[in-house]
Chain A
C-alpha cells in the first residue's frame, strides 16, 4: 500500500466511523420500514425525542423530564453506589492480596458471587433494606465492586520483591510499608479495576431503575416502553451509550496517568 499523507489519514479516520454510523442508520431505517413496523424510524425518533434533547434539563413532571436531567439523577445514584463499591472493594482487594489465608478462604465465594446479575441482587436488596433507595445502592455496589477487588488483589501480589526489600532493609513499619510502598505500587492495577467497576456500575443503573421505577434514565426508558413511546426508548439507549462511553474515556485518561506513575 502506498504511504498516506497525514491529511489523507485523518480524512480516512473520520470517514470510516461515519461510514459505520451510516450503515447502522440504514439498517435501522430499512428494519422500521420492512419487518418491524412498530420500530420508529431514525427521523421519527429524532422528531419525537427532540424536546427531551433540545431542553435536556426541563422538568415537566416527575417522570417527564429532559434526558439530561434524568441522566443526572442516574449519575448521582451511580456515583453513590460506585463510591460504596470502591470503599468496600479496595480494602477487600488489599486483604485478599496480602493474606494468602484470606484469599484461600474467600476466593471461591467471590468467584461464585461475581457472575450474579444485578436483576438477581436487587430483590435481595429489597428484602434486606425494605426500601428501594438503599436496595439500589446495594445492588450497584455489589455488582460493581468485583473488578476493583480482583484487580487490587492482583496488583498487591504483583508488587516487585525489590520494593518490598527496600521496605525490609529500611525496617519500615507495617502501615508505612502499606502507604509508602504497597499502595503506590498497586495504584495502576487499582485504577484499571476502578475503570472496569465504573463501567459495570453504569450498566447496572439501568436495570436497577427499571425495577425500582426511580426517576432516571433507566426508569424513564421503562416508563416510555409501558407508555408505548418507543422513540424515547431509542433516545435513552443512545444517551446511556454516550454517557457510558464518556465515563470510560475519563477513567481511561485517569488510569493512564497512574500507569506511568
Chain B
C-alpha cells in the first residue's frame, strides 16, 4: 500500500488479526489488516457500526493485543498502551470528579513528570485554550455539553504531545451542528500542530472533509481494510462547496463503492455467518 506523504510510515499494521470469545466459539473481528500512516498524515478509517473500528483503535492504542500480525510505531513494535499515542475515546472518558483543568493536568503530570509546576500549568492552559475552553477550565465534565466534553478529551490527548492522535468516532454522539463546528476545529488544530492523525468514523462526508486518505473497513465479522482512497481535495476545504464539487462527489462515490462492494464480498465470504449492519448511505 502506498502512502500519500513522503518518508517511512510512522504507524504500520501488518497482517493484524483479532478475535474474541472462548476457544472454539471465537468470532473473528478483524482479519489480515494492513495499514501504513505517514508522519503528519491525516487518515480516516471509515466503516459501519459493528465492523470492528473500536477494536482497531484499541489495538493501535495497545489496550488489546493482536492475535496475529505486528503493529509498529516509528519502527518499534507496540507492546502495550502508552502516552506516545493520544487516544480520544468515543465516549470522552473524562474523569467526572475532576475539573477540565485537572483532567488535562493528570495527563501532563504523567507524561512530563520532570517539569516544574508552572510549566505544567502553562502547558495545560495552552491546550485548554487551543480547544476554546478557557472559560470552562474549572467546570466538571457533567456541567459541559457533549461537544465541550469531546474538546476536553482532544485537549488531554494533545497535551500529552503524542506521536499520533487516535480518534475513535469522536463526534458520533454529537448533534449535526456541534459536529460541524468540531470538524472545523479538528482541521484547524491539525493544521496548527501537524500531528499524525488516525480518525475512525462512520461518516463519509466527515472523512472527505478531514482526511488526506480514506481507508474503508469492510463490514464485520472478519472485517479487513480495503484499498485506500486519496481524497486529493485542496485545503482549506469548505463543507458548503462539497455538494457541487465534482471531485468531492467522485470521491464520495468511490468511497461508497469501496465500502458497499467490500461489504458484499465480505458478506459472501462469511456466509452464512451474520453480517454487520449495512452501510448507511448519506442523503
Contact = CB atoms under 8 A, between A and B. Distances in A.
Given A170-B107, A171-B110, A184 B93 contact: no
A170 B106 contact: yes
Interface stretch (B2-10, B84-92, B222-230): B84-92
Given A171-B81, A171-B83, A171-B110, A166 B93 contact: yes
B78 interface: no
B82 interface: yes
Nearest to B85: A169
B68 interface: no
Interface in A191-213: none
A165 interface: yes
Contact of B81 (A168, A180, A184, A187): A168
A169 B61 contact: yes
Contacts of A184: 95, 97-98
Interface in A157-200: 162-163, 165-166, 168-172, 176, 180-181, 184-185, 187
B92 to A, nearest CB: 8
A261 interface: yes
Interface in B59-74: 61-63
Contacts of A169: 61, 63, 81-83, 85, 87
Nearest to B58: A165
B111 interface: yes
Contact of B106 (A165, A168, A180, A187): A180
Interface in B134-176: 142, 160
A163 B106 CA distance: 13
B87 to A, nearest CB: 5
Candidate in B93, B98, B111, B142 with the most chain A CB atoms within 10 angstroms: B93
A124 B110 CA distance: 49
Contacts of B160: 170
Candidate in A169, A171, A172 with the most chain B CB atoms within 10 angstroms: A169
Candidate in B62, B80, B97 with the most chain A CB atoms within 10 angstroms: B97
A94 to B, nearest CB: 17
A180 B102 CA distance: 11
A185 B97 CA distance: 8
B95 to A, nearest CB: 6
Contact of B93 (A162, A176, A260, A261): A162
B89 A165 contact: yes
B78 to A, nearest CB: 12
A158 to B, nearest CB: 14
A168 B142 CA distance: 23
Nearest to B160: A170
Contact of B95 (A163, A171, A187, A260): A163
Interface in A113-156: none
Nearest to A188: B97
B96 interface: yes
Nearest to A261: B97
Interface string B48-65: 000000000000011100
A165 B93 contact: yes
A185 B61 CA distance: 23
A170 B111 contact: yes
Contacts of B110: 170-172, 176
Contacts of B62: 168
A71 B91 CA distance: 50
Interface of B: 61-63, 80-83, 85, 87, 89, 91, 93, 95-98, 106-107, 110-111, 142, 160
Cβ-closest 6 pairs across A and B:
A162-B93, A184-B97, A168-B81, A170-B110, A169-B81, A261-B97
16 contacts: A162-B89, A163-B95, A165-B63, A165-B87, A165-B89, A166-B93, A166-B95, A170-B106, A170-B107, A170-B111, A176-B110, A181-B95, A184-B95, A185-B95, A187-B97, A261-B96
Interface of A: 162-163, 165-166, 168-172, 176, 180-181, 184-185, 187, 260-261
